[in-house]
Amino acid sequence: MIPEASLGSSGIRVTRLGFGALPIGPVQADVPVAEAAQVIRRALERGITFIDTAHTYKTYEHIRRAKEGWAGPLVIATKTPASSYEEAEEHIRFALDELDVERLDIVLLHAHRFDESVFEERAGAHACLREYKARGLVRAVGISTHRVSVARAAADRDDIDVIHPLINMAGLGLLGGTVDEMAEAIRVAAGRGKGIYVMKALGGGHLISRREEAFRYVLGLPGVHAVAVGMVSEAEVDMNCRIFSGETIPASEQEATFKRKRLKIIPQYCKGCGSCVEACPSGALSLVDGKSHVDESVCILCGYCSPACPEFAIRVI
């Protein structure tokens, strides 16, 4: 059985293993919707009751199909990249319709690379999230971030219920601080009642060969309530469920689900506009000889560069 935890003082209870819906969607693996829905349904049937998605992931249809006829518990967290009240409201309404739910459990400001000024720069969107919570259409609001200073700032705010920070044992993708500093920010935030579910425990796949160790690290951090893990196949779902349920799994079995992803840039399509460089939260992209170039030692395969490319020249494969 997958262990559960309460997300701080939010009143929301989730499985400690969450289904991360980014990789299965069109931004990364682009698994056909019907097949992806089967994978997500498999996760529900195996006991995962928590799904993490976002407006930009374009996976609402996948999740809606997966939960058709599902009578068990289910918590869905989504994120909005909006800055204004009006755009955030549009995103909330879209999520309600596309997910076919009467209210959204968790809505976060999608702020992976912003610094702590995000709360001023996107005050309109944040106000919208708070108002929809007051109206009962959103249960909890918060922020996702790769940056230590934002996790610290969010811990001090009464209008943040949930924080979705990046952390892994290697510090891959972390901005503005060390692993220990983010771990301390998480501990403090949880102590102040914030719900904490973390991302990139496997460093975008770089730590896949040390998967059990990487999961033990984040689950052992004080204040971490849950971990969102990207999955694209039923085999990955089954394996991760076994690990989170405490089973000891031979290395030979784990290797069967290893799949090394990479960022593919199609040079014929790349116009060298630099949009992907600006979108990358990890500083892994640069322009070399007028074309986008990736430093694979830094890239965490988050996929945020892909939708930023106007020429559709980038894919995580």
Q: Taking residues 168-183, what's their average pLDDT?
A: 96
Q: Taking residues 194-213, what's their average pLDDT?
A: 92
What digits encode the pLDDT tens for the residues 264-305? 887 887 999 999 999 998 899 999 999 999 998 889 888 888
Tokens of 132: 């929809």
pLDDT of 290: 92
Question: What's 41's DSSP letter?
Answer: H
Main-chain phi, psi angles of 143, to 5 degrees: -150, 145
The full set of domains in the chain, from first to last, is 4-255 (3.20.20.100), 263-316 (3.30.70.20)
Q: What percent of the chain has pLDDT over 90?
A: 81
Task: Supply the DSSP string of 44-89, one letter for each residue.
Answer: HHTT--EEE--GGGT-HHHHHHHTTT--S--EEEEEE---SHHHHH
User: What span, in angstroms and rounded, lies between the C-alpha atoms of 237 and 33?
Assistant: 17
Instruction: Assess whether pLDDT exceeds 80 at residue 254.
Output: no
